[in-house]
Chain A
């Protein structure tokens, strides 16, 4: 039976029918009818943010930590343009979002009306798909279609622009079962012939490696289980991109740690020296490959990805497998088992001997201090004191993000939220609130640098209002640490604009927001301070004053291959040439 209702009511009804529990948003003139409907119901919780960028990052944190679609609602014009950074962030990291924007009424579109912007035009390259709905009759079907697109295939953000008159007008509601999910049905099962070819390679490989990425996590918890089974059954070493941490447990015996520009020595040298690379849901990002010409020169490469455009985009592969990671791994394991579970035992034993030699280098070693807190030490202590807790970590972007990836261990997927592809400073605080809203009883920590954290610090108001007890663990070096590091290595130690002047007193800032502030600058006090932060029932701004000139190692300088890593300050003299300096 069809039911007539206003467009605004349709929005709320469609969200309910899609199982949405939380919307992150900010009202404004062009979305008032929808806000009026939100006011008159109790099924969907609305989290009022302080800036629209915060709404999108919260929805991302919510989505990434639950596997569900995140939803945000913002007004026209500046509401929509403020959302743009978050949309691109979600697009780069394949996070499913449905973003609803208000628009001036249809008869005013194109007149440069108040708070009018060409939202679909601006966000077209920032979304997986977007729609301007000009007729209320199409609104509910478009919303259902949007959820289908956001979560299918390679997930991503979609946007629906809804003019105000469309929200007021009445039309029949289309139930979600009635909509055509269209031709858009990405293939999940991989090609069996290609999978069999990969199985044959697995059986004979002497120096294999599993190179895993965010696709494993996006595929769902079953994919992580299958990855663990594959790694344990074959004995193959596992490394992961920044986005894939947690798919294979950090405590697993085959774990090599993260790879890439600031990845572990053993992970990068294993990538360089392997004879079979199995890319599972990663995309050969430039942070991973370094110089393409010298990237893993002697390996055959297989690539499992749900997005055909990721395959052969950057690195040519020998075995392309288009499909969902979970489905492909299931077939892969089944075929490998049915053929007798063969691996090259002698080759593997030699490979592990080699890997253990690389591990013995202990690339994360740093020089600790009894007077100054080293950022690495702060994270080691955070890890030690929170290990085993129901813990979620978000980060901002920069040195602290890389140290967090190196020093924190993730045992499960969906526990690590970070801005990988776009590298958005200001992501972590709002993302941590989104995670906390989804997991009210969990310990949610945003590992931050002071510069990144300031970019969206207004969201502490949101955390207070909605009693999200997020812990803001700020490694404060009074510097834009990663910028400073590059200036030291590449620009003759000319530290142009890379220090944080006129920083607020974070403890007083916390008090101003009505939450708790903790400041620590002595390594002896660190443990107690961290415990105080964990035990406090409410948001905490933790100002951890750390060594100001610490560099993040290991590091593969731009334009260098994996086997030319820098392990510490002693390695850095004149290693980056002019060609490397132009890369980011």
Chain B
């Protein structure tokens, strides 16, 4: 990351970056924000997004370094390249924020989300739900005679498509954790 948080890489990972960073193209970026694990820090980060009118598509937070007293906030946000750059600069100047990484820009990254689905049904629908769950590698973590709770880990897109398939089969509720993401490589 350059000191100004100005784009250095490219989402397409090509050798040449020919995009105009100020073009009015809306992009989705995944940011990893390393913060002091202290009261109020999350509120400060979220308040920045609501106060300045930025989007939050997904947000996860948990302590990741107990001895260092650090938490990792993973935020998926959308905006023009200028807005994304501004979001990163605004995050970076929050005093308890240690690092801001734009995983979308810094290179390939893996993104995973965990979701629980409650699907209720009988007969054919029940069998079809179970069959599709197998294809999507969702696990059954709870079952009654009339319902399943499936657990699935995957990209947000995969979770979306599984939810679409379950809808006609008796989907009752979904709980999602939001995205956790890490850059690939050492």
Task: Tell me the chain B residues, 16-66 only, with Cβ under 8 Å from chain A.
Answer: 22, 39-40, 43-44, 47, 51
Whether B3 lies near A311 (C-beta < 8 A) is no
Of B6, B40, B90, B95, the contact of A128 (CB 8 Å cutoff)? B95
Task: Tell me the chain B residues, 69-103 only, with Cβ under 8 Å from chain A.
Answer: 82, 85-86, 89-90, 92-96, 98
State in angstroms the CA–CA spacing of A313 and B92 once bound together. Answer: 14
Whether A308 lies near B4 (C-beta < 8 A) is yes
Residues in chain B near residue A149, CB distance under 8 A: 95
Whether B93 lies near A308 (C-beta < 8 A) is yes
Contacts known (A132-B40, A312-B85); A322 close to B93, Cβ less than 8 A: no
Whether A125 lies near B40 (C-beta < 8 A) is no
Whether B22 lies near A187 (C-beta < 8 A) is no
Residues in chain A near residue B82, CB distance under 8 A: 312, 316
State in angstroms the CA–CA spacing of A129 and B85 once bound together. Answer: 22
Closest residue on chain B to residue A145 by CB atoms:
B95
Contacts known (A124-B47, A125-B47); A311 close to B96, Cβ less than 8 A: no
Whether A309 lies near B93 (C-beta < 8 A) is yes
Of A120, A129, A312, the contact of B96 (CB 8 Å cutoff)? A129
Whether B40 lies near A308 (C-beta < 8 A) is no
- In the complex, whether A130 has a CB less than 8 A from a CB of chain B is yes
Whether A132 lies near B39 (C-beta < 8 A) is yes
Q: B51 to nearest A CB, angstroms?
A: 5
Whether B5 lies near A308 (C-beta < 8 A) is yes
Interface size class of B (residues with CB under 8 A): 20 to 34
Closest residue on chain B to residue A309 by CB atoms:
B89
Residues in chain B near residue A178, CB distance under 8 A: none
Whether B43 lies near A124 (C-beta < 8 A) is yes
Whether B86 lies near A130 (C-beta < 8 A) is no
Contacts known (A128-B95, A130-B40, A309-B86); A320 close to B47, Cβ less than 8 A: no
Closest residue on chain A to residue B36 by CB atoms:
A182
Contacts known (A308-B92, A309-B89, A312-B85); A191 close to B51, Cβ less than 8 A: no
Whether B86 lies near A184 (C-beta < 8 A) is no
Chain A CB within 10 A, most for which of B4, B43, B85, B86: B4
- In the complex, whether A307 has a CB less than 8 A from a CB of chain B is yes
Whether B22 lies near A124 (C-beta < 8 A) is no
State in angstroms the CA–CA spacing of A322 and B44 once bound together. Answer: 24
- In the complex, whether A121 has a CB less than 8 A from a CB of chain B is yes
Contacts known (A121-B43, A130-B40, A149-B95); A322 close to B3, Cβ less than 8 A: yes
Residues in chain A near residue B39, CB distance under 8 A: 132
Contacts known (A308-B89, A311-B89); A191 close to B3, Cβ less than 8 A: yes
Whether A120 lies near B4 (C-beta < 8 A) is no
Of A131, A153, A307, A320, the contact of B6 (CB 8 Å cutoff)? A320
Whether A184 lies near B4 (C-beta < 8 A) is no
State in angstroms the CA–CA spacing of A124 and B90 once bound together. Answer: 14
Whether A125 lies near B3 (C-beta < 8 A) is no
Q: Mark A276-310, 1 if CB is under 8 A from B, else 0.
A: 00000000000000000000000000000001110
- In the complex, whether A579 has a CB less than 8 A from a CB of chain B is no
Q: B105 to nearest A CB, angstroms?
A: 15
Residues in chain B near residue A153, CB distance under 8 A: 93
Whether A307 lies near B93 (C-beta < 8 A) is yes
Of B51, B85, B95, B98, the contact of A125 (CB 8 Å cutoff)? B51
Contacts known (A124-B40, A320-B4); A312 close to B86, Cβ less than 8 A: yes
Contacts known (A132-B40, A149-B95, A309-B93); A316 close to B86, Cβ less than 8 A: no
- In the complex, whether A183 has a CB less than 8 A from a CB of chain B is yes
Whether A129 lies near B47 (C-beta < 8 A) is no
State in angstroms the CA–CA spacing of A468 and B115 once bound together. Answer: 66
Q: Mark A302-345, 1 if CB is under 8 A from B, else 0.
A: 00000111011100100010100000000000000000000000
State in angstroms the CA–CA spacing of A294 and B85 once bound together. Answer: 23
State in angstroms the CA–CA spacing of A79 and B92 once bound together. Answer: 31
Residues in chain A near residue B47, CB distance under 8 A: 124-125
Write the residues of chain A forming the contact surface with B, with a CB cutoff of 8 angstroms.
120-121, 124-125, 128-132, 149, 153-154, 182-184, 187, 191, 307-309, 311-313, 316, 320, 322
Q: Could you jot down 7 A-B contacts, CB within 8 Å?
A: A149-B95, A307-B93, A308-B4, A308-B89, A308-B93, A313-B89, A316-B82
Q: Which 3 A-B pairs have the closest CB atoms?
A: A309-B89, A129-B95, A308-B89
